[in-house]
Every structure is written in structure tokens, then in C-alpha cells.
């Protein structure tokens, strides 16, 4: 993604300027050609020599350094950029851009660029929450700039709060999202479920399954990368929450059913990747069942709701996607589920195959569509399959809205 891309990295004078060195280094390692512009304050915090060594290019700082050259510095950098990243972005540079002030190399160049701009604010919490700073960031967003949310945590001023420079990998992900530029799901609301339900026997025991949640999380991430507003209903707490995705948690099938139905009407696309237990114990105990009290234990099971079937029955505008976890006659069972649950698309995975299904990082899938079309895919990472699914969902939503 970053190979041969021209990235202009603007560094303004926040204490997190030193963290931008790591960002520059990662961008270069990923193949980008990075040109750095520093404000005078940034150059007092980190030496321009450091950025020069890391990027392999002289750092631009003063407006009139290279007046002998005809390619006026700020204009050539502004023109060459595929992406302009300002990291860290202080309240000062944000305010300048929002007010149309161009009085140094960085503010002048960003004003002159037509490249997409990614702003990475980092500052003390009170400054970040200041209404003028908030208003300025909103102005930038309205003008089409991408303004990241800072992290929360320990700050250089020895306080806790929002304002920390985000992790390098999060900035890279946001930059990738901009450079990919497809935005196939822009303005769309996508609802995804992930993980395996846990059906309570007593406070310490449950009936579960082997789903890790990785497939659903990969789809949620891919939908976010296509610019969707994503809600993920997760039946696991073992995975890190994907950035930019709203995560709500459900424990058992009935909890998942309630959340999916609550969020269903507002969704444009719904992908049910969760592994739902078909049965639950008819009775569960609020106290731990003691083995001393029972030489054997009969657990009677009763059917859980078929969540997806319920969603299919009351489908209005949603593009509805299910999975089928099968061990034999995968396509035939998949087709039957597509019909019975009134789905628009179904991903059938043969969970008996090595490298497919539960708790691995790869999957082997066939995508079945309403009307009989089918695509078969070789083994691939769940991230890659997630991207394909997000793409197909975007196509499906688009067709439906034509």
C-alpha cells in the first residue's frame, strides 16, 4: 500500500514529536518516500537531523532556505504528496489551518496541497477539550480532512486523560484507509456479529464452542476500512477492540438476539459471523453446582432462537449475510440455509479442513448468492476474506439501492 507513495510528514511542536520519528521510520520501511516538514518549535524538541537520517531527505523548515532553486519548496512538496500527514498536530497548527493562516513552511504547504490530509492531534487534555480547538478540528473535518482521535492515558504533563499520540500502527491503518481510497461503504451502517455464545450452566460453567471471533472482527475491520459506520456485537472479550468500530458485548444466544434485533433496523448491511449455540440448558443455577451433591448430572437442553432466521423474516432494506459452518456437503447445506433464512449472501466454510473455520487465522470459503451464483476461494487470511466480504456487501447494498 505504501510502496512508492510520496508522503509529506508535517511535524509540529508537541512533545510527541519524538514519536513521529517512529512513524517516519515505519512509513519508509513500508516503501514510502517520506519528506518531512518541521515547525521551528518541533525542531527544538527533536533535531531535524534525526528526521533527515530516517527519511533520507533534507528536512524542510524555513521558508527561504532554498531560494536558489526554482521548485519553490512548499509548492513542490504540496504537489508531490500522495498523502499529507500532520503528526503530532498541536492546537496551534490546527488553529492556523482552520483559520487559513499560512505563516511558516508547514502551514503554507498544507494550504497549497490538494492531497488528502491526515491530522493526528496530540496535546494536553484541557487543550484538547478546549471549545475553540474542538471547533477548529470540526472545521477541518468539514473541509474533508481526516482528524484522528487521540488516545487516552498518561500524558507528558504527568496527568491522565485524552490527548496521547496514537500508536504508530493505528496511524498507519488510518493512512492506509485514506490511500486505499475506495470508501466502498461510505455512509453505510454495517452490523457484524462475532465469537461464540456461552450458555450458562452455573456461574462458572457454560456450554460454548470453538469460535475465537477472528472472522467477525476481520469483517468489522474491513468494513471500517471501507469507511462504513460499524457496530460489532461480540460474544468474546479476548480480542482487542478494532479501532473506529463500536463494540457491544453479548454473552449468550438470547443476549445476542436482543442486540442484533435492537440494531437491525438502522443497519444497511448485516453479517452474522457469530457461532450461535443452537441449545441452552433449560435450567441454570445461580450457585456453583457442587460435585459432592451430585454423583451424576443431567443437563436438559432446549432450543435457542435462530437469530438469523428471525432477522431474515423481518428483512426490509438490509443486505443480510450469514455463514454456514459445515463438515460435509458444504455447498448443499449452505444453499439450504441461504433459502431457509432468507439471506442475500452466505459464506460457507468447511470447518473440518485444516486452515479453515474455528480459531485459526485463515479460512477457506465459498460465497453463495441469492439466485444461484457462487464464488469459491482458496485458503487465505481472515483479513483478506474480510476485505472480500466487505466488498461484496458494498456491491449488494449498491444494487439494492439502485
Which residues of the shown chain bind ligand PMT in the complex (CB under 6 A)?
211-215, 253, 272-276, 278, 304, 306-308, 322-325, 337, 349, 351, 357-359
Nearer to ligand PMT, 12 or 362 (CB): 362
Instruction: Provide, rounded to whole angstroms, the least separation between the CB of residue 398 and ligand PMT.
Output: 23
Q: Please give the order of strands across the beta sheet that includes 6-11.
A: 33-38, 6-11, 83-89, 117-121, 146-147
Dist CA 145 CA 117 (whole Å): 5
Spatial contact of 6 and 77, defined as CB atoms under 8 Å apart: no
Q: Left (φ > 0), alpha (ψ -120 to 50) or beta: where does 183 sit? A: left
Give the Cα-Cα-Cα angle 258, 228, 320 (nearest 5 degrees): 50
Instruction: Provide, rounded to whole angstroms, the least separation between the CB of residue 307 and ligand PMT.
Output: 3
Instruction: Provide, rounded to whole angstroms, the least separation between the CB of residue 240 and ligand PMT.
Output: 15
Helix 168-180 / helix 19-29 crossing angle, nearest 10 deg: 50
DSSP-assigned states of every residue in 80-148: H-SEEEEEEEPHHHHHHHHHT---SHHHHHHHH--S-EEEEE---HHHHH-HHHHHHHHHHHHTT-EEP
Instruction: Provide, rounded to whole angstroms, the least separation between the CB of residue 298 and ligand PMT.
Output: 23
Instruction: Provide, rounded to whole angstroms, the least separation between the CB of residue 174 and ligand PMT.
Output: 25
Dist CA 146 CA 117 (whole Å): 6
Nearest to 37, CA basis, from 93, 98, 91: 93
Nearer to ligand PMT, 125 or 366 (CB): 366
Dist CA 363 CA 326 (whole Å): 13
Instruction: Provide, rounded to whole angstroms, the least separation between the CB of residue 215 and ligand PMT.
Output: 4
Nearer to ligand PMT, 91 or 215 (CB): 215
Instruction: Provide, rounded to whole angstroms, the least separation between the CB of residue 177 and ligand PMT.
Output: 23
Annotated catalytic residue within 36, 157, 235, 402? 157
Rounded to 5 degrees, φ, ψ at 250 are: -135, 150
Nearer to ligand PMT, 18 or 358 (CB): 358
Nearer to ligand PMT, 59 or 321 (CB): 321
Q: Left (φ > 0), alpha (ψ -120 to 50) or beta: where does 86 sit? A: beta
Cell numbers of 124, please? Answer: 494536553
Nearer to ligand PMT, 20 or 308 (CB): 308
H-assigned helices in 202-306: 214-225, 253-264
Nearer to ligand PMT, 172 or 272 (CB): 272
User: Per the omega criterion (within 30 degrees of 0), is the bond before 107 cis?
Assistant: no
Nearer to ligand PMT, 66 or 254 (CB): 254
Residue 232 CA neighbour count, 13 Å, CB half: 30
Spatial contact of 150 and 162, defined as CB atoms under 8 Å apart: yes
Is 157 assigned a catalytic role? yes
CB-based contacts of 354: which residues, under 8 Å, 6+ apart?
A: none
Active-site residue set: 157
Amino acid at each position: 500500500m505504501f510502496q512508492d507513495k510520496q508522503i509529506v510528514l508535517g511535524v509540529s511542536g508537541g512533545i510527541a514529536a519524538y514519536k513521529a520519528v517512529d512513524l517516519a521510520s515505519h512509513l519508509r520501511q513500508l516503501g514510502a518516500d517520506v519528506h518531512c516538514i518541521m515547525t521551528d518549535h518541533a525542531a527544538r524538541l527533536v533535531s531535524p537531523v534525526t528526521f533527515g537520517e530516517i527519511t533520507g531527505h533534507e528536512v524542510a523548515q524555513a521558508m527561504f532556505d532554498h531560494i536558489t532553486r526554482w521548485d519553490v519548496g512548499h509548492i513542490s512538496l504540496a504537489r508531490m504528496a500522495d498523502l499529507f500527514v500532520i503528526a503530532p498536530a498541536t492546537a496551534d497548527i490546527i488553529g492556523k489551518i482552520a483559520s487559513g493562516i499560512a505563516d511558516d513552511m508547514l502551514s503554507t504547504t498544507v494550504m497549497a496541497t490538494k492531497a488528502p490530509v491526515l491530522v493526528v492531534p496530540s496535546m494536553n487534555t484541557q487543550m484538547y477539550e478546549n471549545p475553540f480547538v474542538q471547533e477548529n478540528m470540526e472545521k477541518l473535518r468539514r473541509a474533508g480532512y481526516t482528524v484522528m482521535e487521540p488516545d487516552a492515558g498518561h500524558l507528558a504533563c504527568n496527568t491522565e486523560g485524552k490527548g496521547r499520540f496514537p500508536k504508530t500502527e493505528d496511524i498507519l491503518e488510518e493512512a492506509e484507509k485514506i490511500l486505499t481510497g475506495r470508501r466502498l461503504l461510505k455512509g453505510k451502517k454495517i452490523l457484524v456479529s462475532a465469537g461464540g455464545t456461552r450458555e450458562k450452566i452455573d456461574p462458572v460453567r457454560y456450554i460454548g464452542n470453538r469460535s475465537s471471533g477472528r472472522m467477525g472482527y476481520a469483517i468489522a475491520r474491513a468494513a471500517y476500512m471501507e469507511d462504513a459506520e460499524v457496530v460489532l456485537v461480540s460474544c468474546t472479550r479476548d480480542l482487542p477492540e478494532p479501532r473506529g468500530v463500536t463494540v457491544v458485548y453479548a454473552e449468550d444466544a438470547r443476549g445476542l438476539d436482543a442486540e442484533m434485533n435492537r440494531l437491525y433496523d438502522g443497519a444497511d448491511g448485516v453479517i452474522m459471523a457469530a457461532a450461535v449455540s443452537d441449545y441452552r440448558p433449560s435450567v441454570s443455577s445461580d450457585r456453583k453446582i457442587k460435585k459432592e451433591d451430585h454423583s451424576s448430572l443431567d443437563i436438559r437442553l432446549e432450543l435457542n432462537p435462530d437469530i438469523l432466521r428471525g432477522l431474515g423474516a423481518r428483512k426490509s432494506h438490509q443486505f443480510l449475510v450469514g455463514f454456514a459452518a459445515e463438515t460435509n456437503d458444504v455447498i448443499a447445506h449452505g444453499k439450504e440455509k441461504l433459502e431457509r433464512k432468507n439471506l442475500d449472501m452466505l459464506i460457507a466454510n468447511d470447518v473440518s479442513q485444516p486452515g479453515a473455520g474455528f480459531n485459526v487465522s485463515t479460512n477457506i470459503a465459498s460465497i453463495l448468492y441469492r439466485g444461484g451464483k457462487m464464488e469459491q476461494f482458496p485458503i487465505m487470511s481472515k483479513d483478506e476474506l474480510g476485505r472480500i466480504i466487505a466488498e461484496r456487501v458494498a456491491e449488494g447494498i449498491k444494487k439494492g439501492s439502485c
